[in-house]
Amino acid sequence: MIIIMKPHTPKEEILIQKQKLEREGFEVNLSQGENYCILGLIGDTTKIDESKIGANEYVEKILKVQQPYKLANRLFHPDNTVINVKGEKIGGNKIAIMAGPCSVESEEQIVEIARRVKKSGARFLRGGAFKPRTSPYSFQGLKTHGLELLKLARKETGLPIVTEIMTADMIDKFVEDVDVIQVGARNMQNFELLKELGKTRKPILLKRGLSATIEELLMSAEYIMSEGNENVILCERGIRTFENYTRNTLDLSAIPAIKKLSHLPVIVDPSHAAGLWWMVEPLSKAAIAVGADGLIIEVHNDPANAKCDGQQSIKPDKFHRLMEDIDALAQLGSREIYETINF
C-alpha cells in the first residue's frame, strides 16, 4: 500500500503517520519527491482498513499495490480450483453446462426440461424456486414446493440441481436439498448471507452484482471462503451500463481477468446478460471462446407461456444444436462438453 501525503504536509506529521503505521507492524519506506511525500508500506496490507488511513487530513490519496483478497487470490494459490459436485467437476477441462427454466412451474415442466437438457449434454439442472423480482406484483416462485419439484427432476435424471437462495434462514434446507447454491446478483453483497454460506461446505455459485467490479466480486468470494467454504464458483452475468438495447452488457473480458487474478472457476450466464433469447447462441459461443469454465442457460419448453423471463429462454431443440456447436468450439481449445457420446 502506498500513501501519498498532501503537498506541504509538515515533516512532523509525516513522521507521526509513519510511526503509527510502524506500530501496526509495517515496515514503512519514506520517499520525498518534488511535490509529494510518499509512504510505502511493506507487510500484509490485506487487513488494513484504507478508510482509517484516508481519514488523516494530510493524506492525499491511497494506492493499493496488493489485491485486498487472499484466499481467492491466484498469487497465493497458483493452481486452478476444480470443484466437485457429486462427481461432476467445475473448473477443469470439461465445460460445465447448467440449463433449465428461469422458474420451476410444475412437475411436468421441470422433469420434461431436465430430460431434454440432459440428453443434449447439460450436466446440471438450473431452476428457480425462490425468485427475486423487481416488482412485488410479479410471480415470486413456487418456493419450497419448487424445491420438491427440483428434487423430483433430479431423481428422474440424475442431474445435480442449482437453485437460488434468498435468505439465510433457508440454508439448512438448501444444504439438505440442493447441490449448488446460487447467490443472485442482487445478493452479491448481502454479506450476512455470504458469511452463513461460508459455514457450509456446499458449492456456491456467486453471481456478479449488477454494478460490481471484478475486485468486489472476488471480495464477496473471500467472505464465503474466509468462513471456511472454498467451493466458490463465480458467474459473470452482465453489468449495468448506459447501453439499453440489451438488458445488461455482458463483460466477457472479466473471464480472462478473473482467471488471472483468481484460481476460482468462472462461468457465464448469457441469458440474463442480454435478456434476449436470440443472443444466447452467439454469446454462449463467445463465452466458451474467451475461456469460461461453463455456462448457465435458460431453457424452456414453452417460452411464450413461461411464468418468468420467457423472452430470454431458448427451446430445447435450439439448446441441443447450441451444445453441438459449443462442443466443437470447446474441442478447439482441447476442452469438451459431453460426458459420453452415447445419445
Contacts (CB under 8 A) with a copy of itself, residues 173-232: 186-187, 189-192, 195, 209-211, 213-216, 219, 222-223, 226-227
Positions 52 through 111 that interact with a copy of itself (CB under 8 A)? 52, 54-57, 59, 61, 63, 65-66, 68, 75
Is 159 or 250 the residue whose CB approaches a copy of itself more closely? 250
How many residues line the site for a copy of itself (CB under 8 A)?
110
Number of CB atoms found within 10 A of residue 320's CB: 17
Min dist. Cβ of residue 160 to a copy of itself (A): 25
Between CA 321 and CA 274 the distance in angstroms is: 20
Instruction: Give the range of 86-94, 117-125, 150-158, 285-293 binding a copy of itself by CB under 8 A.
Output: 285-293
By CB under 8 A, tell whether 334 contacts a copy of itself.
no
By CB under 8 A, tell whether 171 contacts a copy of itself.
no
- Per-residue DSSP letter, 136: T
Is 154 or 307 the residue whose CB approaches a copy of itself more closely? 307
Is 119 or 315 the residue whose CB approaches a copy of itself more closely? 315
Q: Name which position in 146, 309, 322, 337 contacts a copy of itself (CB under 8 A).
A: 309
Classify 12 in phi/psi space as left (phi over 0), alpha (psi -120 to 50) or beta. alpha
Coil, helix or strand at residue 97? strand
Between CA 284 and CA 26 the distance in angstroms is: 47
Instruction: Give the range of 104-112, 116-124, 146-154, 275-283 binding a copy of itself by CB under 8 A.
Output: 275-283
* Side-by-side strand order, sheet with 27-32: 27-32, 37-42, 2-5, 59-63
Number of CB atoms found within 10 A of residue 112's CB: 17
Cβ contacts of 49 within 8 Å, gap of 6 or more? none
Min dist. Cβ of residue 305 to a copy of itself (A): 8
Min dist. Cβ of residue 19 to a copy of itself (A): 14
Write out the three cell numbers for 192: 450476512
Q: Name which position in 11, 23, 51, 340 contacts a copy of itself (CB under 8 A).
A: 51
DSSP E strands, 106-156: 124-126
